[in-house]
Amino acid sequence: MTVAKHAASRCRRIAVLGLLLAITLSIGAASQNTDYSIMSWAYGVVIWPGQLNTYLTVPERFVERLEAAAEEAFGFWGYELPEPEDEWPCPVRYAGRLLIDGPYDVRIVDEATGRETVVPSLEWSGARLSPFVVIPFVGEWRMHDALGTTATFGAQFFDQPLVRTYPDAEDWIHEVGRGYRTMICASYAGDDVLIHEFAHWFQWEWCSGHDVLAMLLPGFIREGMAEMTAAEAENLPHAPWERRGVIDWAEGHCLADGVGAASRYTVGESFMTYLVEQLGTEGFLATLKGWTSDPVPLIERHEPGWRVWLGLPESCGSDSE
């Protein structure tokens, strides 16, 4: 009987201790950020939606792919990558929330301890750049939950706060997307997709440093530049099909009439490839200001040669898309 009483008493004590432990854990969990997880990468932070799920992706491997893609994008144009202003180990996982109070004021705040970690700004060609925030989604459904059904699944580079593009997004998206260098992407996006978006990053920074308004570039130049940068990482079997599509387009259209959204990637890549072959990378970059202010003379100068390069007559058709 005594043994039974002692056993029952022990069980009650264990039950109480278990209850206290559960309450402690629940309080701790409540104080943690469950909207997203934070990991450093060489040029800023990666924001993983929800709790980091290593069953669906390998975070460290994704960071390696990001850094390789950025290096490829800047290196294609003959430029070094930006450098963090302070030491920034990566990849490192951080607890807390991301606090963005300005282009160069980005911190990780651990609510449980009050500790703040400064995410260093970047230096490039004598200019100070904002840290780069990457938000990878593991599935289209989760991206649409967070951003809305109009979100493009693949990758997008943003040079302004996400609230301007996605005003109805979840609150945490507006929190981590308050900066001026952000990329939203699929965690399994191909290398060519990542390189394409980092080419837009290079494009934006180069233009900003040379008094060129990147948003005024014609769409086929803007997207063609990014497509060409990523060309070597693309699926090679698609190349002949894309070239045939460009030739079909050029047989009935002129660049001066405009290039529709459906064609600006392939037509732009083809035209850009020709221009860089003729001018070199620095020679082409020197024309960007002209493309933003008055593209017609540049089209008149280079379109005939591009058409001959495609195996077509110099003069273009009169139809428009």
pLDDT tens, the chain, 321 aa long = 444 444 344 434 433 333 333 333 333 443 467 899 999 999 999 999 987 766 667 899 999 999 999 999 999 999 999 999 999 999 999 999 999 999 999 999 998 999 999 999 999 999 999 999 999 998 788 888 898 876 666 789 999 999 999 999 999 999 999 999 999 998 988 999 999 999 999 999 999 999 999 999 999 999 999 999 999 888 666 677 889 999 999 999 999 999 999 899 999 999 999 999 999 999 999 999 999 999 999 999 999 999 999 999 999 864 434
Asked whether residue 287 is domain-assigned, the answer is: yes
What was the pLDDT predicted at 51? Answer: 77
Note whether 13 and 125 are same-domain residues. Answer: no
Whether residue 277 contacts residue 302, with contact meaning beta carbons closer than 8 Å, is answered with no
What was the pLDDT predicted at 142? Answer: 86
Note whether 18 and 41 are same-domain residues. Answer: no
How many domains does the chain fold into? 3
Asked whether residue 318 is domain-assigned, the answer is: no
Asked whether residue 190 is domain-assigned, the answer is: yes
Note whether 179 and 69 are same-domain residues. Answer: yes
What was the pLDDT predicted at 138? Answer: 86
Asked whether residue 272 is domain-assigned, the answer is: yes
**What whole-number distance in Å separates Cα of residue 306 and Cα of residue 275?**
8
pTM score: 0.86
Element of type H or E holding 49: strand 44-49
**What whole-number distance in Å separates Cα of residue 224 and Cα of residue 230?**
10
Note whether 88 and 167 are same-domain residues. Answer: yes
Asked whether residue 321 is domain-assigned, the answer is: no
Give the pair of three-digit tokens for residue 9.
Answer: 């008493």
Give the pair of three-digit tokens for residue 51.
Answer: 């709790």
Note whether 243 and 143 are same-domain residues. Answer: no
Note whether 109 and 55 are same-domain residues. Answer: yes
Q: Which of 206, 239, 270 is the last residue of a domain?
A: 206
What was the pLDDT predicted at 143? Answer: 87
**What whole-number distance in Å separates Cα of residue 172 and Cα of residue 177?**
8
Q: Which of 206, 229, 245 is the last residue of a domain?
A: 206
What was the pLDDT predicted at 272? Answer: 97
**What whole-number distance in Å separates Cα of residue 268 and Cα of residue 275?**
10
Which residues span the domain enclosing 171?
A: 36-206
Asked whether residue 249 is domain-assigned, the answer is: yes
What was the pLDDT predicted at 15? Answer: 38
